[in-house]
Structure 1
Amino acid sequence: MSLRFIPPAAALAAAMAALLPVAGATQTARAADFTVRSVEVPELKGVFGEVKSRTVVPARARIGGTVRAVSVSEGDSVKEGDEIALVVDDKNALTLNAADAKIKELKSQLENARTELDRAQQLLARGVASQARLDTSKTQFDVATNQVTAAEADRAVILQRAREGAVIAPADGRVLTVPVTPGSVVLAGDEIARVASGPYYLRLSLPERHATSIREGGTVRIGERGISQDKAGTPATARPGRIVKVYPEISGGRVMADVEVDGLGTYFVNERTLVWVEIGKRAVLAVPAGAVRTAHGIDYVTLVTARGPLDVPVILGARFPGDDGERVEILTGLKDGDVIATAGR
């Protein structure tokens, strides 16, 4: 058996090449380590917010009468000027007939006055009649003309009153309530429908002890649609909203606040949804959510020690967004300064 001679330089190079993967793995593992530090996070309180419309405009009847037809129902979208109901006053038809008859009578008197005026002018031209008779005939003709004009104006008023039987939508929006049905008798000014025309917002009601913790311009987190925790999600996945108004009066031990948030257009008015409000700050130990693994119902993190990695059981708290992803609070199991391995290790 022959032995091959390997130069010392070549042997050293081979040994270094064999160690390079190990060194690279060590650097990768160190890059995946995370040092646990105490950080301040917002202390959130979950409350229910009610969806409100900035303005709710009533559509009212302009005349009294009987509701002949209703064109909308609760939940319908309407545009400003749309006819949503029709109110009919049966007396309008009778009054209109009387006005037409009056106009015919006055027009007949006007024709007689015109004939008398023409005859007086002819007689005055022949020197048979006096100027006083002509002036009298002209005055009677002017009076008859004015009476016809006044009667036609009265008829126009009756027609306008009939047209005002159409109840129109006062603004764009959604119909909230329609408290009348066809056949109902209403008076002028009665409410036919209520239209939510303003942008939607959230109305919060907080306990009095949190009155000094909220402020205008503060950020809140709004869960997904629904009042259950399963549907609403968590603060980490909630969308942001902004407090635009804090009411200065406390009523019944509650302080009211309004929150502006996008995406409420399809909600029902007075629908409730889960909202998390910041009421202070607290110091917590938090780690990346990916550093936690669960086995047999127990949560673990890998603690980096001088003797090697060590799996440590922990109890988790709330989750919240961090600078580089979701973080989870560690209630017990770690202390400030511990080094753990993230998912990359």
Structure 2
Amino acid sequence: MKSFVLPLALATLALPGVALAGTFTVTPTEVVDWKTVYGQIEARDSIPARARLGGTLTELSVTEGDLVQAGQPLGKIVDEKISFQLSAYDAQIAALESQLANAQTDLTRAESLKARGVMTAQAYDALQTQVNVYTSQIEAQKASRAVTEQQGAEGEVLAPITGRVLEVPVAKGAYVLAGESVATVGGGGFFLRVSVPERFAPSLSAGDPITMEGAKGVVEGKIAKVYPLIESGRVNADVEVPDLNSNFVGERVLVKLPLARRAAVLVPASVMVTRSGLDFVRITGAEGPVERAVVPGTHRTLDGVDMVEIISGLTGGEEVVTDEQ
């Protein structure tokens, strides 16, 4: 009979339940079943940079993929009516200032007349009131001009957050309305958004580890958030992955999620022998080692040992022979 040998030291140190040299007791072990799903790279914050003023987009300094800082100018909108309104306010202020100058001259002349008793106090008060009215009207026009001037300054479109420009739906020279999006900026970090069937929802929890197949190989991460709203029979979760490539937001990558935990019977792959398409392991019997046919499952690595799951043939409690007696 062909011998399948697992070193005694490895069997003793790596495998629990060793009964004697060359054997170990099969004990059900908790294993995690992983499911491979697609995850999509998303920005944590996706905020549109909106126009605060309606007008013509005369400048546009960014395009998709550019990195921007919060408050950085992205474009400029010009409303030609604002310059005409400012000119109208300037003309009104100039006219009122001329009227104020005349009223102040009349008031100065009235002061001398009042001092000589030629002018009544009522007439003098009327001139004083007229000076105050012109002064107030000038202040009101200046305040209105400042409001219009501020509206013109709001034609500058600023980046709402630090991040990457994801979308620029308008072009230079286009007419945009107040509140219309000029660019969409994604920032605040990037993560993976995964969607799995709702039957796996109880198995997902924040902090669970995940693995992702990236350009640099297998990368480990963890589930950051599980959303309580189930849509179309699927539950969404956010996965944090260190150094996630954010060059292509919306890119789909493969993610392995831990979706089930169960007890499984595992034996070292080295104790199995295959003959005529059947797999066997040797277990201790009343009259010595005997072979038992088993149905193997997937391979798993535990403490550096290649283990294979036994789907049928072993139930736990058996002593598997790992060394020639």
Q: Which residue of 2 aligns with 1:157?
A: 147
Q: Which residue of 2 aligns with 1:114?
A: 104
Residue 231 of structure 2 is aligned to residue 241 of structure 1: no
Q: How far 1:225 sits from its partner (Å)?
A: 2.2
Contact 1:36 1:340 in 2 (8 A): no
Contact 1:207 1:255 in 2 (8 A): yes
Contact 1:107 1:148 in 2 (8 A): yes
SS of corresponding position for 1:63:
coil
Contact 1:247 1:255 in 2 (8 A): no
**1:279 to 1:66, Cα distance in 2 relative to 1, 3 A:** same
Q: What is the alpha-carbon distance in structure 2 between the residues aligned to residue 31 and residue 288 of structure 1?
A: 14
The one-letter code of the counterpart of 2:112 is Q
Contact 1:67 1:185 in 2 (8 A): yes
Q: Which residue of 2 aligns with 1:325?
A: 304
**1:170 to 1:218, Cα distance in 2 relative to 1, 3 A:** closer
Structure 1 vs Structure 2: percent identity of aligned residues?
A: 38
SS of corresponding position for 2:88:
helix
**1:53 to 1:183, Cα distance in 2 relative to 1, 3 A:** same
Q: How far 1:166 sits from its partner (Å)?
A: 0.3
Matches within 5 A, 1:252-291: 254-263=233-242, 265-267=244-246, 268-284=248-264, 286=266
Q: Which residue of 1 aligns with 2:320?
A: 338
Q: Which residue of 1 aligns with 2:185?
A: 195
**1:193 to 1:36, Cα distance in 2 relative to 1, 3 A:** farther
Higher strand content, 1 or 2? 2
Contact 2:221 2:241 in 1 (8 A): no
Q: How far 1:46 sits from its partner (Å)?
A: 0.9
Residue 77 of structure 2 is aligned to residue 87 of structure 1: yes
Contact 1:315 1:330 in 2 (8 A): yes
Q: What is the alpha-carbon distance in structure 2 between the residues aligned to residue 36 and residue 69 of structure 1?
A: 76
The one-letter code of the counterpart of 1:277 is L
Q: How far 1:287 sits from its partner (Å)?
A: 6.1
Contact 1:67 1:186 in 2 (8 A): yes
Q: How far 1:63 sits from its partner (Å)?
A: 0.7
Residue 214 of structure 2 is aligned to residue 214 of structure 1: no
SS of corresponding position for 2:64:
coil
Q: What is the alpha-carbon distance in structure 2 between the residues aligned to residue 259 and residue 338 of structure 1?
A: 43
Q: Which residue of 1 aligns with 2:278?
A: none
The root-mean-square deviation of aligned C-alpha atoms, in Å, is: 3.7
Q: How far 1:331 sits from its partner (Å)?
A: 6.0
Stretches of structure 2 that go unaligned for 5 or more consecutive residues are 1-5, 16-23, 272-280, 285-294
Report the TM-score, using the length of structure 1 for normalisation. Answer: 0.72
Contact 1:114 1:141 in 2 (8 A): yes
Q: Which residue of 2 aligns with 1:46?
A: 36
2:159 to 169, 178, 181: 169
Q: What is the alpha-carbon distance in structure 1 between the residues aligned to residue 44 and residue 299 of structure 2?
A: 34
Q: What is the alpha-carbon distance in structure 1 between the residues aligned to residue 227 and residue 50 of structure 2?
A: 32
SS of corresponding position for 1:224:
strand
Q: What is the alpha-carbon distance in structure 2 between the residues aligned to residue 127 and residue 256 of structure 1?
A: 93
Stretches of structure 1 that go unaligned for 5 or more consecutive residues are 1-27, 293-301, 306-313
Rg larger in structure: 1
1:31 to 3, 6, 9: 9
Q: Deviations over 1:232-278 (max 9, x none)?
A: 64xxxx41312522434341xx3213133132553233222212222
Q: How far 1:143 sits from its partner (Å)?
A: 0.8
**1:200 to 1:106, Cα distance in 2 relative to 1, 3 A:** same
SS of corresponding position for 1:195:
strand
Residue 212 of structure 2 is aligned to residue 223 of structure 1: yes
Q: How far 1:337 sits from its partner (Å)?
A: 3.8
Q: How far 1:106 sits from its partner (Å)?
A: 0.9
The one-letter code of the counterpart of 1:116 is D
SS of corresponding position for 1:66:
strand
Q: What is the alpha-carbon distance in structure 1 between the residues aligned to residue 82 and residue 95 of structure 2?
A: 20
SS of corresponding position for 1:199:
strand
**1:337 to 1:281, Cα distance in 2 relative to 1, 3 A:** farther
Q: How far 1:105 sits from its partner (Å)?
A: 0.9
Q: Deviations over 1:49-90 (max 9, x none)?
A: 122233321111011000011121112222221111100011
Contact 1:68 1:182 in 2 (8 A): yes
Contact 2:194 2:236 in 1 (8 A): yes
Contact 1:288 1:325 in 2 (8 A): no
SS of corresponding position for 2:188:
coil
Segment drifting more, 45-54 vs 240-249: 240-249
Q: Which residue of 2 aligns with 1:56?
A: 46
1:182 to 167, 172, 195: 172
